Amino acid sequence: MGSGLKVTLLLTGSLTVMAGAIITTAISDITQHYAHVPYAELTSKLMLTLPSLFIALLAPIVGNIIDRFGRIRPLLISLFLYALGGASGFFLDSLYSILAGRAVLGIAVAGIMTINTTLIGDYFHGRMRSLFLGWQGAIMGFGGVVYIAAGGLLADISWRWPFLIYSISLVLLLLAIRYLWEPAHQKHQETDSQPPATGWLAKKYHLLYISAFVGMLFFYLIPTQVPFLLQQVKQLTNSQVGFSISFALLSGALVSYFYGKIRSVFNFHQIYIITFGMMGGGYLLVSFIDSYAGIMAGLLFAGLGTGLLMPNTNLWLITMAPVEQRGRQVGRLNFAVYAGQFLSPLVVQPIVHLGGIKMVFCISGILMVALALYFFYLNRSFLQIHS
């Protein structure tokens, strides 16, 4: 595969992170600008979460479409809609019309993320597929930090300027036309595949969907709950809080980069043991230690685990899924991922009211350690069957 194709896929995948990261720092200014509008604060916050809702709802539909009609044309349409919906906030005056633009952005990301992951499964095989999914996770992690910083710099000029960054998808639209092609729908021999038993596959798919949902539900504690936790422990500036969150994201990005090498040593079950074990251990550390340094150590440890979550989930799924069903399975996986993101603050808020943020991290840590132990059990069964 040429470098043009690889760069196009990597940059296209990073657009999914950009969807929310770009305007994060501008939300408070948007709220102030539209203070005269009823429910302005709630509506402004919905700009961050509404795309995730539309991604979750539409990703399975996109998956079915691309399995029936092909990958490239829907991708090109999605890249155009990304620029249209994302950049509309720069030009529109009504708060609710800007919110509608965010819905269009969510529709676009549902297409981009589902098709991007499916194309990686179509284009690459074996070790190269593992390596590329690791690179994709790393680019998304580093991209999140870069996009937040770029959005913050532009937001200092005006809250409208960060919206223009979304128009970069038009450049990727041209790159996609130039370097991507429609893959032939032919069955490939997958080295990691198991015998095609329908009942077995259905259980494996559901296990991956649930793991992705739970993983994202807990991962989103970092951007949604850590800022409030740190302010309770120590009075910090916004930039210091941002650094703390970026610290965890960067540690995950570094691990993602090496996923291909990790996959060559461990099987899928074992990597999930590491993933949920580190996330759970890091969250328990956060829940039991009150110092800023201790919380940062816990976030670093948890962040290392999060870097393995999506590369391992994506690779396992696209390895199992037959090529003619790959799009719909990736779409269902993306539903689980973004449903977890969208529901995370809603699910944990009652626990915050009941026992505080520390209790949230304690319960989450226990549940993730339990999930790691469950995969330890599955791995023992897997090894016994294949010994």
b/e for 37-49, b at 16 or more Cβ within 10 A?
Answer: eeebeebbeebbb
What percent of the chain has a predicted confidence (pLDDT) above 70? 93
Share the mean pLDDT of the chain.
Answer: 87
When mean pLDDT is compared across 21-25, 243-247, 272-276, 328-332, the lowest value belongs to: 243-247
Question: What's residue 230's pLDDT?
Answer: 80
Dist CA 290 CA 41 (whole Å): 31
pTM summary value: 0.83
CB 253 within 8 A of CB 269: no
**Could you tell me the two tokens for 259?**
């996923």
Max mean pLDDT range (25-29, 131-135, 150-154): 131-135
Distance of CA 54 to the CA centre of its chain: 14
Query: What domains appear along the chain, each with residue ranges and CATH number?
Result: 1-182 (1.20.1250.20), 197-387 (1.20.1250.20)
Residue appearing with tokens 């259905």: 202
Residue appearing with tokens 């991290």: 361
What are the C-alpha distances in Å from 194 to residues 200, 261, 266, 328? 9, 22, 17, 19
Tell me which amino acid residue 56 is: A
When mean pLDDT is compared across 140-144, 244-248, 256-260, the lowest value belongs to: 244-248
**Could you tell me the two tokens for 209?**
């969907």
Distance spanning both ends of the chain, measured CA to CA:
36
| 197: alpha, beta or left? (left if phi > 0; alpha if psi -120 to 50) | beta
Counting every residue written for the chain, the total comes to 387
Residue appearing with tokens 């005006």: 158
Dist CA 311 CA 60 (whole Å): 19
How do residues 40-59 score in pLDDT, each as one tens digit? 877 887 888 889 889 999 99
